[in-house]
Structure 1
Amino acid sequence: MTKPAAKTPLKHLRTSDIRGVAQLAVQATVGVTRIVEGVHQSVWNILGVPGGKRPGQTGGITGLVYKSIHAVTQLLGKGVDSVLVRLQPLLDSAEEAKPGTPQREAVLAALNGVMGDRLLASSNPFAIPMTLRYQGEALNWLALPSMPEVGGKVLLLIHGLCMNDLQWHSEHQGKPVDHGQALASALGYTPVYLRYNSGLHTSQNGRELSAHLEQLATHWPVPIEEFTVVAHSMGGLLIRSAVHYARQENLHWPQHLKNIVFLGVPHHGAPLERAGNRVDVILSSTPYTAPFARLGRLRSAGITDLRYGNVLDEDWHGHDRFQRQSDSRQHLPLPAGVACYSVAATTAAKRSKLADRLIGDGLVPVLSALGQHHDAQRTLVFSKTSQSIAYRTNHMALLSSPEVTRQLLQWLRPTQSV
């Protein structure tokens, strides 16, 4: 009797991951220590014992102990990191050609979605750089591979929060589903996939995507005939931001932009993030729970942008993103001169006011996905024939739905274009 193959979880790791884990461990230790010190001082305050110079800090000998913990943790962290930086080139040489496994890439994508802004700020190797990818490889404009099979119709696929480009390859009832490959086979598109750090502000990613697409338009092996974009979830906010900044800077690539299809995009935000913001406020309301509000403040800028659907710098710049405030976004209409389509999803079997507002696809309400808003001036105008609702479908199932594939084909066939 043969033994089953042993599971080897370490095969998903790279040597550079050691640095990333070490940095996260240091940050976690410092963060937990600050929470403990905050609770400690809250108790002292009740007893009339003065604290340190800043709120949440203890004073006296107790304060010195906490300061020592912080200092030693930071010193050890810097020491470990400096050693690993010197060792990493030697360790990496043996695995330069080793591709990342889908499991590893999925974990990194989730980590970046949750705290990608912090990873980038601390130069953590887990931070994902933005890349345009063709046939699984990042495109290097200074050394493009041989690409004789590409055409002038470029299809850009943009993933959502906590995801990556590999997750466009999905399954439905055991059969593979890939919207990009389906459109390539039927309509002659060349699919290009975006991978990015979804924990950054949407407008930061939008500006960077715009620059990448300008490079693509400049260096693509054949003249660009058209750009078509299929964007899922946060990806739809990202492309709207990118078009805005490209036109502001008079870049050339938007001249080729013909279609954008939005799949489950929270144009006007997602209720879960608004609920998370309320939890922040509640935790901050008492001295005993206030230290734990730090945990909620770990969530990334990308996540807090989903509260109302921020797409511009002005939507977040100069604001405390964890304070509760009303929707103060600048209205950004759908890009002029571009055919825009929207697919919303709902787990319900049919539409109703309750299902549209509260159920939706589990993450994004139907009205938000369709761009509809109670303030008519904020509504994104999709024509009736450019809207579709997938019933009994959740947010992630939009990527694996044959029904969605059929809708994309119907909209994007040349004879059906609007």
Structure 2
Amino acid sequence: MTNATEQSPSSSWHLSDIRELAQLLTLALPATVHITEAVHQAVLSGMGFKGRDEGKTAGITGLVYQGVHKAANTLGSGINTLLTHLPPTPPLHHIPETPKRAALIATLNGVLGDKLVEQQNALATPMTLRYQGKPLDWQAMPADLPRAGRVLLLVHGLCMNDLQWQTRYQDEPVNHGDSLAKALGYVPLYLRYNSGLPIAQNGEALALLLEQLVAHWPGNLEEITIMGYSMGGLVARSACHHANSHGLGWPARLANLIFLGTPHHGAPLEHAGHWLEQLLPATAYSEPFVRLARLRSAGIKDLRHGKVIEPLDNTDSHTLRHDPRTPLPLPAGVNCFAIAATTAAKRSLLADRLIGDGLVPLRSALGQHHEARHQLHFLPAHTLIVYRTSHMALLASPQVGQQLLRWLTPS
């Protein structure tokens, strides 16, 4: 596993990255001008001035905006022309990776990952299984993989990547995955994926990827344990569902599922974004800003309720009064564990509902829900609450590491 704390160059962006970012900018410029003109026309409409079309200004103002649109298009064309005169750059997957560059690209994917895929932007992160910091190659599997093995797969959260399982506690390196692997003989594998894509889409891709892993393992893959951090836990649950839907074989080897700070029933920040999207259209002046609220990725939107599969009728209700998800229980025959954190010193109504770990409410991380159909039934002995701990601090918590070791050590 590559150490995410190692020194990296002062500039983490490569010329190839800048080329892709510039192309993204040329697509964003016209949209920004359209939003600005729509706000301006909303103000003018309130004063009795009609526009050319919906969201379009007229008269001198319209002419000005037509000029701005042309300028934006000209700038976009200029950027594209400049890009064609830049020296050839290597493909992104040939660029040496640094932790800082990987973190920047992971953040971009978390926020705009679905848009990157739609635009076929090379900065979109493909899903890969990684071993010792490198993607697994089915045609050339590492020689040190045991023929009979027990795999521990670690799935990162939103806007993150596999390198960020490596963190520090009191200036000492900490990696829960590597620690468990050394103590219990697991082979540690790490998933890297585009966290801006829908959770259900990532779950299905992971299900198919794990089937390939079993098929290409150099021997008998005896047991799989998956630990998902934050959104990663939702992706793991979704993968189990899709594996059963497709009749895949790997779930028969799945022994343990560990959820570390997973928002099973949603995260408040996405709730706030959803409310913003619903309330802004109340006035003509604010309606154009709804487009900005909708720019957040599909992956972030799925965190509103913790949606892990698509609804049965393939529609998503926009009502705020009930939970629109299709219920999905924990997979049968698998040991499921939940670790939740709270920044409070002890449990209370306020701590459970409002405080949580700063990002995920305590009840959400424990799978508790006011609707019985969505309740996740973790055994009491399979849950842990870590007090005076934030969401990110779970990755370095000694208490978490000790509990994981107790749970996974054979009786």
For normalisation by structure 1, the TM-score amounts to 0.90
Q: Distance in 1 between matches of 2:109 and 2:150?
A: 31
Secondary structure (helix, strand or coil) at the match of 1:183 reads helix
Q: 1:350 aligns with which of 332, 342, 346?
A: 346
The aligned residue for residue 258 of structure 2 is: 261
Distance 1:142 1:73, change over 3 A: farther
Residue 377 of structure 1 and its aligned partner are, at CA, apart by 2.4
The aligned residue for residue 40 of structure 1 is: 40
Q: 1:178 aligns with which of 175, 178, 186?
A: 175
The aligned residue for residue 304 of structure 1 is: 301
Q: Distance in 2 between matches of 1:334 and 1:30?
A: 45
The answer to whether the Cα contact below 8 Å between 1:151 and 1:189 also exists between their aligned partners in 2 is no
Residue 26 of structure 1 and its aligned partner are, at CA, apart by 1.8
Residue 294 of structure 1 and its aligned partner are, at CA, apart by 2.0
Q: Distance in 2 between matches of 1:58 and 1:204?
A: 40
Structure 1 residues 241-250 or 35-44, which shifts more?
35-44
The answer to whether the Cα contact below 8 Å between 1:342 and 1:382 also exists between their aligned partners in 2 is yes
The aligned residue for residue 3 of structure 2 is: none
Residue 282 of structure 1 and its aligned partner are, at CA, apart by 2.7
Letter of the 1:229 counterpart: I
2:217 is aligned with 1:216: no
Structure 1 residues 270-279 or 70-79, which shifts more?
70-79
Q: Distance in 2 between matches of 1:413 and 1:85?
A: 57
Residue 135 of structure 1 and its aligned partner are, at CA, apart by 0.3
Secondary structure (helix, strand or coil) at the match of 1:240 reads helix
The aligned residue for residue 56 of structure 1 is: 55
Q: Distance in 1 between matches of 2:69 and 2:128?
A: 36
The aligned residue for residue 18 of structure 2 is: 18
Residue 63 of structure 1 and its aligned partner are, at CA, apart by 4.3
The aligned residue for residue 105 of structure 1 is: 102
Residue 300 of structure 1 and its aligned partner are, at CA, apart by 0.8
Identity %: 53
Q: Distance in 2 between matches of 1:92 and 1:242?
A: 34
The answer to whether the Cα contact below 8 Å between 2:310 and 2:326 also exists between their aligned partners in 1 is no
Residue 82 of structure 1 and its aligned partner are, at CA, apart by 7.6
Q: 2:323 aligns with which of 316, 323, 327?
A: 327
Q: Distance in 2 between matches of 1:377 and 1:124?
A: 40
Structure 1 residues 21-30 or 66-75, which shifts more?
66-75
Q: 1:152 aligns with which of 149, 152, 155?
A: 149
Q: Distance in 1 between matches of 2:59 and 2:315?
A: 36
Gaps of 5+ in 2: 1-7
Distance 1:193 1:315, change over 3 A: farther
Q: Distance in 2 between matches of 1:372 and 1:138?
A: 36
The answer to whether the Cα contact below 8 Å between 1:16 and 1:125 also exists between their aligned partners in 2 is no
The aligned residue for residue 9 of structure 1 is: 10
Q: Distance in 1 between matches of 2:307 and 2:93?
A: 38
2:196 is aligned with 1:199: yes
2:127 is aligned with 1:126: no
RMSD: 2.4
Residue 335 of structure 1 and its aligned partner are, at CA, apart by 0.4
Letter of the 1:302 counterpart: G
Q: Distance in 1 between matches of 2:313 and 2:107?
A: 23
Q: Distance in 2 between matches of 1:52 and 1:381?
A: 57
Letter of the 1:310 counterpart: K
Residue 293 of structure 1 and its aligned partner are, at CA, apart by 2.1
Structure 1 residues 141-150 or 264-273, which shifts more?
141-150
The answer to whether the Cα contact below 8 Å between 1:199 and 1:301 also exists between their aligned partners in 2 is yes
Q: Distance in 2 between matches of 1:366 and 1:27?
A: 40
What pairs with 1:257-296 in structure 2 (closer than 5 Å)?
257-296=254-293
Secondary structure (helix, strand or coil) at the match of 2:315 reads coil
Residue 107 of structure 1 and its aligned partner are, at CA, apart by 1.1
Cα shift readout 1:31-90 (whole Å, capped 9, x = no counterpart): 32112101121122123333244x3223466446545644664565467448747967x3
The answer to whether the Cα contact below 8 Å between 2:316 and 2:324 also exists between their aligned partners in 1 is no
The aligned residue for residue 138 of structure 2 is: 141
Distance 1:150 1:191, change over 3 A: farther
What pairs with 1:159-174 in structure 2 (closer than 5 Å)?
159-174=156-171
Secondary structure (helix, strand or coil) at the match of 1:314 reads coil
Secondary structure (helix, strand or coil) at the match of 2:311 reads helix
Structure 1 residues 311-320 or 128-137, which shifts more?
311-320
Letter of the 2:10 counterpart: P
Structure 1 residues 310-319 or 360-369, which shifts more?
310-319
- What number of residue pairs does the alignment pair up? 404
Structure 1 residues 249-258 or 40-49, which shifts more?
40-49
2:90 is aligned with 1:92: yes
The aligned residue for residue 240 of structure 1 is: 237
What pairs with 1:68-83 in structure 2 (closer than 5 Å)?
69-70=68-69, 73-74=72-73, 77=76, 80-81=79-80
For normalisation by structure 2, the TM-score amounts to 0.91
Distance 1:82 1:154, change over 3 A: farther
Distance 1:32 1:109, change over 3 A: same
The aligned residue for residue 363 of structure 2 is: 367
Residue 9 of structure 1 and its aligned partner are, at CA, apart by 2.9
Distance 1:68 1:214, change over 3 A: farther
Letter of the 2:261 counterpart: G
Distance 1:315 1:117, change over 3 A: farther
The answer to whether the Cα contact below 8 Å between 2:26 and 2:79 also exists between their aligned partners in 1 is no
Residue 291 of structure 1 and its aligned partner are, at CA, apart by 1.6
Q: Distance in 2 between matches of 1:171 and 1:151?
A: 32
